[in-house]
Amino acid sequence: MAKKCPICIIEIGTAEEVKRCTSCNILVHTECHKWLQPGPKSSGRNWKCPQCAPKAPDSPAGDGTHPFAAEYAKAAQMRAMEESFAERVRREVENAVKEISANLNEQLKEQFKELTDKIAEQNNIIREQKKAMAKQSDRIAELENEVDELSLRLNDLDQDKIINNVEIQGIPELPNENLNFIVSEVAKTLKIMDSLHGGACFRGRKMKDKPRVVILRLADQEKKVRWIKAKKSEEFKNLVMPTSYSEVANSGGPSQGTAPKQQKLELRIFEQITFRTRQLMYETRQEATKQQFQYVWTKNGKIFVRKDKHTKAVIRINKHSDITTKIVLRGENQENEAKNHEENGDEVGSQNN
């Protein structure tokens, strides 16, 4: 059973420092021992508690009162006062800490609320801005579509103005040339001389490292078609420069009594198209070559492509996005279909839908 200190009335732990009475073996906390008056402290190893210490001479005899009973009371009172003071300090410190914590928590709550309110407000602003941006993006997309439509319509109007025109590339350009004569000689060779009635010719745009093209403004579509078809004839393949034109080209003309050397003309004939269509045609050819489309051509200012001679499907290219959607993706899909047919042992058909 644990023993208690007779001064503080608290159980004494095994590791605590104590004083032991040499007479009755009572134990007292060393800390409590300091509260005793000098008489009963009896320094050294032979300490005796007030109960076992010799009675003082002036102590009344036979009254049953121990001469150091008052010392016990004073020590206990001082101990109680110390504990009371420590408890009061502890409580005050705890209360102060609680008050500071409460105030700090309140401040932090207010600041956190202000911060969360600001974040919520900013989130609302961001959401509104995103909605506004989405509307603007939609509007921009609409405007881009409108611009594309207007551009197409404007291009169609420009194309209508030159719908009957033909472009001839490869006619050498010389000073003081008689262009009407040159074109007439070419038309005579191609046996379409009558197609020039009501028409006109002039030099057009400059080509890189080549002479300017010759523009034929013909009277109607039928005459234009005759020129386009004529480039497939044998006469066109073997076309030579007209005699008078060769004389000018031969730097001073032929020697006396000899005919001028006639130079073979490497001509190309196309229908005239607008600048926008020409750019789109160039990009279409580039991508069609990559995707192994064999045919790219124009008809009345419109661009068409076809995979090969076995494919009946003809694709119309109106704008730049059609190159991706109608050539690239279609080519990839057809290639995948062909692979699937080959893997499944099917015969690949000649027509692509």
Q: What is the pTM of this model?
A: 0.55
Rounded CA-CA distance 202/214 in Å is 6
Task: Note the pLDDT tens digit of each residue in 39-59.
Answer: 444 555 677 777 777 654 444
**d(C-alpha 22, C-alpha 52), whole Å:** 9
- Residues 150-186 have pLDDT tens digits of 999 999 999 999 999 999 998 888 888 888 988 998 8
Cα(349)–Cα(353) distance, rounded to whole angstroms? 10
**Which has more pLDDT, 342 or 93?**
93
Q: Which residues make beta-bridge pairs with 27?
A: 20
193: nearest Cα among 202, 181, 204: 181
Strand 214-217 vs strand 295-299: parallel, antiparallel, or unpaired? unpaired
Residue 19 bridge partners (DSSP): 28
pLDDT of residue 99: 87
Mean pLDDT across 302-327 = 90
- In this prediction, residues 311-328 reach a mean pLDDT of 88
Are 253 and 247 in contact by the 8 Å Cβ rule? The answer is: yes
| Confidence at residue 51, expressed as pLDDT on a 0 to 100 scale | 72
Contacts 24+ apart (CB under 8 A), 228-232: 228/166, 228/269, 228/270, 228/271, 230/190, 230/191, 230/192, 230/269, 231/267, 231/268, 231/269
Strands 268-271, 165-169: pairing is antiparallel
- Confidence category of residue 4, pLDDT binned at 50, 70, 90: confident
Query: Mean of the pLDDT values across residues 128-148?
Result: 92
Distances in whole angstroms, Cα of residue 129 to Cα of each of 122, 134, 135, 140: 10, 8, 10, 16
Half-sphere exposure of 257 (CA within 13 A, CB side): 0
For 265-307, give the DSSP string. P--EEEE---HHHHHHHHHHHHHHHHTT--EEEEETTEEEEES
7 touches 32 (CB < 8 A): yes
* Span of 8-22, 93-107, 121-135, 274-288 with lowest mean pLDDT: 8-22
Give residue-wise pLDDT tens across range 235-266. 888 877 666 565 554 444 444 444 455 667 78
pLDDT greater at residue 174 or residue 330 = 174
Which tokens sit at 13?
A: 């732990």
pLDDT at 348: 31
User: What is the helix (H) or strand (E) element at residue 315, kind and residue range?
Assistant: strand 315-317
Residue the block writes with tokens 């190893």: 45
Beta carbons within 10 angstroms of residue 81's beta carbon: 10
Predicted confidence at residue 1, as pLDDT, reads 62
Identify the CATH assignment for 163-272 out of 3.20.20.70, 3.30.70.330, 3.30.470.20, 2.60.40.10. 3.30.70.330
pLDDT computed for residue 65 by the predictor: 47
**Mean pLDDT to the nearest integer, 69-96:** 72
User: What pLDDT score does 43 carry?
Assistant: 53
